[in-house]
């Protein structure tokens, strides 16, 4: 194992056209932690253990296993993965906070890190004093920090609080000061963990703009974030880590889509063996002549899912049963956002699928060729009534939950995509440019005779 650190970036070897050496190079780097499963509760326990030469039971934990990574000058690498996958450990190893257990690592240039809230701050010192302290840690003189002080204070928006001990700061003030110091010390390599999520929305946008300027100025960035949109917008490469291993590395869109598909499948597998709980009292009612026996939320292959990616195919299947012939039933559904907002309520009558009669068992399917919902959690209500909406045969009120994960094409914010396009027109009336929403625009709404259903069948 070898760990090499150089205070400045290595120059490009003379006579070569390969460019400068990488700022970060990891070859098979691993990190191990040991968890002791027993502890000595007294001196007597320790003495007995020494006499019997019985070792404590231990368990090894490897947050990083055989990780290889190369970061060139000017790279912006986004690191994604579920909680506990090893993302933060990777940044701590590169920053020098943790020493790798195995492998070879080379880090060149001045490294600034924002990994934990308040890391590197002395609580009893004021914000101003901590700025100078952090500057010295990053290798800058007091004179150099004095030149940067005004910009740091202005960026952190601390005002008169800059001379207040940081132990009295809120979490937002902590992260503003930490980021302001890190971004204004002109690092060769900036390491940023998820701590930016602590700041308010305005400051988050300010940080993103500062990171873009840092990137455009040739800075090198390693960003750990659960905000997959930020990873795609800021970074030119993405690294997916899970279980301490590198699962994928490459263009952000490709890596993010692979990660989302994996998470959707993982969530589906965790739910597929769970039986649906009985509907709570007050969530289901109806006369019972026609009953909806099973509801499935499926993908394009007809496989039941609990997580979908925005823009993918989604089908809602309602399997019904009735012992006697029911004339002109009207099946419907409703989709609600997690905040209770009704998104849409189609039904078979309005959707152009009039059912003359049903008897025995059957299935009614509502198909969305491109799911227009944006990231969030949603619930589905299903119901079936008679044509005149005077009899409710069966009603399941917001009984089925699913999640929507963001797609690679980040169009906007809110609950749904409007399938729109942008167009610029000059003062003379000519079209300057037309930007489609995505390479594959959403198809038109289903035409008559497609399957459909209703949120509020009483509105049919």
The mean of the pLDDT values for the chain is 82
For range 296-305, the mean pLDDT: 90
* Per-residue pLDDT tens over the stretch 197-207: 666 778 878 88
Nearest CA-CA partner of 408 in 229, 279, 221? 229
Tokens 């994960």, residue located: 405
Specify the pLDDT at position 334: 96
pLDDT at residue 280 is higher than 70: no
**With pLDDT > 70 as the criterion, what percentage of the chain qualifies?**
80
Residue 444: its pLDDT value, please? 33
Q: What is the pLDDT of residue 457?
A: 47
| Higher per-residue pLDDT: 373 or 232 | 373
Report whether pLDDT(132) > 60. Answer: yes
* pLDDT at site 459: 52
pLDDT of 310 > 90? The answer is no
- Please state, in angstroms and rounded to a whole number, the distance separating the CA atoms of residues 217 and 220: 9
Q: What is the C-alpha separation between 381 and 403, in angstroms, rounded?
A: 15
Higher-confidence residue: 86 or 230? 86
The predicted pLDDT at position 451 comes to 35
Longest Cα pair distance anywhere in the chain, in angstroms?
Answer: 95
Provide the pLDDT for residue 218: 87
Contact indicator for 264, 305 with CB cutoff of 8 Å: yes
In sequence order, which residues have a C-beta less than 8 Å from that of residue 14 and are 6 or more positions away? none
- Tell whether the model's pLDDT for residue 275 goes beyond 80: no
Q: Return the higher-pLDDT residue of 291 and 55.
A: 291
Model confidence over 142-191: pLDDT tens digits? 999 999 999 999 988 888 899 999 999 888 888 888 888 888 888 899 99
**59: Cβ contacts below 8 Å, ≥ 6 apart:** 34, 35, 37
Q: Rounded CA gap, 8 and 89, in Å? A: 23
Query: Residue 455: is its pLDDT beyond 50?
Result: no
* Cα separation, 226 vs 80, whole angstroms: 6
Give dist(CA 419, CA 443) in Å, integer: 9
Least confident of 43-52, 87-96, 292-301, 346-355: 43-52
List the domains of the chain with CATH numbers.
Answer: 2-257 (3.40.50.300), 284-459 (2.70.50.60)
**Which backbone phi and psi does 140 adopt, to 5 degrees?**
-100, 145
pLDDT in the model for residue 337:
93
104 confidence band (pLDDT: 50, 70, 90): very high
What is the tens place of the pLDDT at every residue in 337-355?
998 999 999 999 999 998 9
Question: Is the model more confident about 412 or about 320?
Answer: 320
Q: Residue 454 in contact with residue 330, Cβ under 8 Å?
A: yes
Is pLDDT above 90 for 21? Answer: no
Sorted by sequence, the CB contacts under 8 Å of residue 30 that are 6+ apart come out as: 62, 64, 65, 66, 67, 100, 101, 102, 103, 244
| pLDDT at residue 77, rounded to an integer | 95
Predicted model pTM:
0.69
């Amino acid at each position: 194992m070898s760990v090499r650190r150089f205070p400045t970036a290595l120059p490009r070897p003379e006579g070569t056209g390969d460019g400068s050496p990488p700022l970060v190079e990891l070859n098979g780097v691993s990190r191990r932690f040991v968890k002791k499963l027993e502890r000595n509760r007294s001196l007597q326990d320790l003495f007995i253990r020494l006499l019997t030469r019985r070792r404590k039971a231990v368990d090894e934990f490897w947050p990083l296993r055989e990780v290889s990574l190369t970061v060139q000058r000017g790279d912006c690498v986004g690191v994604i993965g579920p909680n506990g996958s090893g993302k933060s450990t990777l940044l701590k190893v590169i920053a020098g906070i943790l020493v790798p257990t195995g492998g070879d690592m080379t880090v060149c240039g001045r490294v600034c890190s924002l990994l934990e809230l308040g890391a590197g701050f002395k609580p009893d010192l004021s914000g101003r004093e901590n700025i100078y302290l952090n500057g010295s840690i990053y290798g800058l003189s007091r004179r150099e920090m004095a030149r940067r002080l005004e910009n740091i204070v202005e960026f952190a928006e601390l005002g008169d609080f800059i001379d207040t001990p940081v132990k009295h700061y809120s979490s937002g003030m902590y992260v503003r000061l930490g980021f302001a110091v890190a971004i204004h010390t002109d690092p060769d390599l900036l390491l940023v963990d998820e701590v930016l999520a602590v700041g308010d929305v305005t400051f988050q946008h300010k940080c993103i703009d500062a990171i873009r300027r840092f990137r455009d100025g040739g800075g090198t960035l390693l960003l750990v974030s659960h905000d997959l949109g930020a990873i795609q917008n800021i970074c030119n490469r993405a690294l997916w880590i899970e279980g301490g291993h590198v699962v994928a590395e490459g263009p952000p869109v490709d890596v993010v889509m692979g990660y989302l598909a994996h998470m959707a499948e993982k969530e589906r597998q965790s739910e597929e063996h769970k039986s649906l709980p009985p509907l709570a009292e007050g969530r289901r009612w109806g006369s019972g002549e026609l009953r909806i026996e099973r509801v499935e939320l499926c993908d394009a292959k007809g496989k039941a899912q609990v997580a979908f990616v925005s823009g993918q195919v989604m089908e809602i299947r309602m399997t019904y049963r009735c012992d006697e012939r029911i004339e002109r039933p009207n099946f419907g559904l409703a989709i609600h956002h997690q905040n209770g907002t009704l998104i849409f309520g189609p039904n078979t009558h309005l959707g152009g699928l009039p059912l003359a009669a049903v008897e025995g068992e059957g299935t009614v399917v509502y198909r969305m060729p491109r799911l227009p919902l944006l990231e969030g959690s949603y619930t589905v209500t299903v119901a079936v009534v008679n044509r005149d909406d005077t009899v409710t045969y069966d009603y399941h009120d917001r009984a089925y939950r699913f999640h929507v994960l963001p797609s690679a094409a980040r169009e906007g914010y809110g609950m749904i995509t409007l399938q729109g396009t942008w167009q610029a027109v000059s003062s003379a009336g000519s079209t300057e440019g037309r930007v489609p929403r995505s390479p594959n625009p959403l198809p038109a709404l289903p035409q008559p005779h497609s399957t459909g259903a209703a949120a509020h069948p009483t509105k049919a």
